[in-house]
C-alpha cells in the first residue's frame, strides 16, 4: 500500500447503491483503505448524515428508487457544502453532468467501474477537499492578522496626533519634547505599515472572492 493510501485508511465513506451485489463489491474494494458505511438507498444515507454522522466523502449511484443521486446531493449541499461527492452512473448525459457540476459533484464515473480508477478519483477528491479547507483556514488567519495590525496602527495614530499637538504647543521645538519626536518617527513608519496592510487586505479580499468562486464549481 502506498503512503498516500495509508494516510487515508481511516477516512469515512458513504457508499450508496441500490444494487446490493455492486454495493458489496465496491465496499470490499474500498475497505482496505477506507472505513465504509454502505446504504441501499439515498434517503437512509441522508437520514444518517442528518443526525450528525458526516463522512469525509460520498460515492453514490445516480439512478436509484426514491431519492436519486442528484436529489441526494442537493439535500447534502443544504447541510454541508464541503463533502466531496462522486456519482456513478450506467449512462451519463449532458444535462445530468451540468446539473451535477452545478451542485459541486467532483466527478461522474460510468459503469462498469474500474476499481483503481474509483480509488484514485476518491483520493483526488479528498486531496482537493483538504486543500480547500486549508485555504479557508489560511484566509481566516490572514484576515485576523490584518485586523490586529489595523488596530495597532490605529493606536499609533492616536499617539501621532498627541505628539503633533505637543510640538505645536511648544512651537515645534524638538528639545522641549524628545518623546514627541520619537512618536513622529514611529508614526511615519506605521503609515508605511498601514499602506502595506491595506494592500494585503485587498489581496486577501481578492483571494477570498476567488476561493468562494472555486467552492461553487469544485
33 phi/psi in degrees, rounded to 5: -110, -25
Structural domains in the chain (count): 2
200 domain residue, yes or no: yes
pLDDT value of residue 37: 95
Each residue's pLDDT, cut to its tens digit, for the chain (218 residues) gives 444 444 445 799 999 999 999 999 999 999 889 999 999 999 999 999 988 888 999 999 988 888 888 889 988 888 766 789 999 988 767 788 888 888 888 989 988 888 889 999 999 998 887 777 766 666 666 666 666 666 666 666 666 666 666 656 655 555 545 665 566 566 666 666 666 666 766 766 666 666 566 555 44
Q: Judge contact between 135 and 114, C-beta under 8 A.
A: no
* pLDDT of amino acid 60: 94
Give the per-residue pLDDT at 217.
Answer: 47
pTM score: 0.62
Residue 99: give its domain's CATH number.
3.40.50.2300
Both 169 and 78 in a single domain? Answer: no
Q: Is residue 123 part of a domain?
A: no
Range(s) of the domain holding residue 209:
134-217
Separation of alpha carbons 128 and 106, rounded Å: 9
In degrees rounded to 5, what are phi and psi of residue 37? -115, 110
SS3 134: helix
Instruction: Assess contact for 132 and 214: CB atoms under 8 A.
Output: yes
Q: Are residues 92 and 8 in the same domain?
A: yes
Of 46, 79, 113, the last residue of a domain is 113
Taking residue 117's Cβ as centre, other Cβ atoms within 10 Å add up to 11
Whether 91 contacts 73, CB under 8 Å: no
Q: Is residue 122 part of a domain?
A: no
What is the model's pLDDT at position 101?
Answer: 82
- Give domain status of residue 158, yes or no: yes
Write down the pLDDT at residue 3. 46
Amino acid at each position: 500500500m502506498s503512503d498516500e493510501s495509508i494516510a487515508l485508511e481511516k477516512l469515512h465513506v458513504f457508499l450508496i447503491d441500490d444494487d446490493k451485489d455492486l454495493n458489496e463489491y465496491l465496499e470490499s474494494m474500498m475497505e482496505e483503505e477506507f472505513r465504509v458505511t454502505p446504504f441501499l438507498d439515498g434517503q437512509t444515507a441522508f437520514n444518517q448524515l442528518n443526525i450528525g454522522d458526516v463522512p469525509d466523502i460520498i460515492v453514490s449511484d445516480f439512478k436509484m428508487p426514491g431519492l436519486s443521486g442528484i436529489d441526494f446531493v442537493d439535500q447534502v449541499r443544504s447541510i454541508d457544502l464541503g463533502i466531496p461527492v462522486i456519482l456513478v452512473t450506467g449512462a451519463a448525459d449532458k444535462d445530468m453532468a451540468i446539473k451535477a457540476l452545478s451542485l459541486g459533484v467532483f466527478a461522474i464515473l460510468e459503469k462498469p467501474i474500474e476499481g483503481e480508477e474509483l480509488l484514485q478519483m476518491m483520493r483526488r477528491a479528498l486531496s482537493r477537499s483538504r486543500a480547500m479547507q486549508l485555504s479557508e483556514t489560511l484566509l481566516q488567519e490572514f484576515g485576523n492578522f490584518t485586523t490586529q495590525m489595523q488596530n495597532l496602527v490605529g493606536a499609533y495614530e492616536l499617539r501621532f496626533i498627541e505628539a503633533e499637538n505637543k510640538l505645536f504647543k511648544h512651537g515645534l521645538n524638538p528639545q522641549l519634547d524628545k518623546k514627541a519626536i520619537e512618536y513622529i518617527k514611529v508614526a511615519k513608519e506605521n503609515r508605511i505599515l498601514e499602506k502595506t496592510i491595506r494592500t494585503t487586505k485587498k489581496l486577501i479580499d481578492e483571494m477570498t472572492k476567488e476561493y468562494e468562486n472555486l467552492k461553487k464549481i469544485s
